[in-house]
Amino acid sequence: MYRVIIIGAGIVGLSIARVLSRFENLKITVIDKNPDVGWGVSKANTSIIHPCHEEDPDKHPLRTKLCLEGHNIWYKWVRELDIPNRWPGEIIVATNEDEYHVLKHYLELARRNNVPGVRIVDGEELFKLEPSINRSSIAGLYAPSAGSIDPVQACIALAENNVDNGVRFVLGEKVVDIVVKDKHVKEVVTNNNVYEADIVINAAGLFADEIARMVGINDYIIYPRRGQYILFDKTASPKPDKIIHTTPTPKTKGVYVLKTIEETLLIGPTAEDLSIEEKEANIVTKEGISFILENAKKIIEKLPPMNLVIRTFTGIRPEPPNGSYILRFHEEPWGFVEAAGIRSPGLTAAPAIAYYIKNLISQHIDLKLKKKWIRIRKGIIKIKDLSRIERNNLIKQNPKYGRIICQCMGVSEAEILEAINRMRKIGVKETTLDGIKFRTHSMYGRCQGTFCRPLISLIVSRETGLEPWKVSFKGGNSTYGIGFVKELFMKR
């Protein structure tokens, strides 16, 4: 039995855990410094499963290959793991002749990558395909196979399926050292414990270079690239059915305008290269918001009024040297495996990266398939998605489905209780409001939890025994349930 430790519970680490959980001679533990899964790079991105017509097979052959393979795997995984998804297709919008030539370049890449159905559309066909596109646009490159998923819900789904298949989670512990003896990895040391290991897989996102240096590998640096976003209320319109975005640049795929899984309007991101010291500089800036709005206005006929903005936020993604993924099994120290530098299209490529890592490991040890492996995972039942008859029947079985806690998103008490139980199942040590939010989409709506957050805090208090004002928003001391009310009065 080989003891495998995966550092990082993001979309890449969790995908690797799922693929490796199929083998009976691997004992897998996933460690992450965050209180819950998917709270690093995976939490804040554009959520797109890319068609892969924007990947250059000459400059980045491996990245292109994994993007194409990952895209196809996601079709299967979203069904098996009950992950919310939509596949509307995407359009790169050209507003002038120079940008039109860019479309031709990506059309050629689509042909070389065998991406199906990609074509240039113009004139009335463009506006018929997506009526919300700015009427001054001259053409678009349509890729019908583009999709969108909820990345945090994907992480949650993978984690739950991993637990069903014997994977153990250690959350809220930061890796501080990796012990190497006789040129083999032997132990992973966290701020709380020491874990024995035969294989260590580095899927630590922005901090993968720091993990690598713990075993003496210092041949690369991961730089942070910040992306800011604007999120509108679900009543905002126009809301494109297709995913639309500006023409890509060497740095970024462009500014997107899209309808999210929750049917809100999302625009962004920026692409700001930061210094190595700014890996956690996830701030929103006036300049960033202005950049997003200026670029979005070029491709959409009319943006909603700003009073419908419900949130601005930032994600920071890893940028590796030359934009290349770092995927390798080290002979010295033996057993140290890297899945590092996973920049865009990392979400798309994640399942294929997992199989690539599995193949690397299989070259060094003999992997033995389990006789029984659980493929299917079911998500939380959402009362708002059911028909009237189905709702009535469910409420008869469990009246808590009839008590709506989050009015904006139609989330019931039963769903919140289910989320709490599922957090416990994967080893979340502290029930957080963010954990409930990502599992149920409560606090996602127009009021961003202003009305339902105290009610949810009281439910958490009842279920955990924690005092209501100590219910944490993000874990630790981030009390933002009804705790901020108590703090206000204590200061007066």
* CA–CA separation, 212 and 64 (whole Å): 25
Judge contact between 86 and 148, C-beta under 8 A: yes
Nearest Cα neighbor of 417 from 450, 439, 448, 395 is 439
Structure tokens given for 473:
């928003």
SS (H, E, C) 181-199: ECCEEEEEEECCCEEECCE
Does the annotation mark 71 as catalytic? no
What value, to the nearest 5°, has the Cα angle with vertex 41 and ends 39 and 42? 65
* CA–CA separation, 35 and 367 (whole Å): 31
SS (H, E, C) the chain: CEEEEEECCCHHHHHHHHHHCCECCEEEEEEECCCCCCCCHHHCCCCEECCCCCCCCCCCHHHHHHHHHHHHHHHHHHHHCCCCEECCCEEEEECCHHHHHHHHHHHHHHHHCCCCCCEEEEHHHHHHHCCCECCCCCEEEEECCCEEECHHHHHHHHHHHHHHCCCEEEECCCEEEEEEECCEEEEEEECCCEEECCEEEECCHHHHHHHHHCCCCCCCCCEEEEEEEEEECCCCCCCCCCEEEECCCCCCCCCEEEECCCCCEEEECCCEECCHHHCCCCCCCHHHHHHHHHHHHHHECCCCCHHHEEEEEEEEEEECHHHCCEEEEEECCEEEEEEECCCCCHHHHHHHHHHHHHHHHHCCCCCCECCCCCCCCCCCCCHHHCCHHHHHHHHHHCHHHHCEEECCCCEEHHHHHHHHHHHHHCCCCCCEHHHHHHHHCCCCCCCCCCCHHHHHHHHHHHHHCCCHHHCECCCCCCECCCHHHHHHHHHC
Q: Give the position of tokens 């294989």.
A: 199
Judge contact between 451 and 475, C-beta under 8 A: no
* Selected catalytic residue, list 50, 53, 330, 441: 50
What positions carry a catalytic annotation? 50
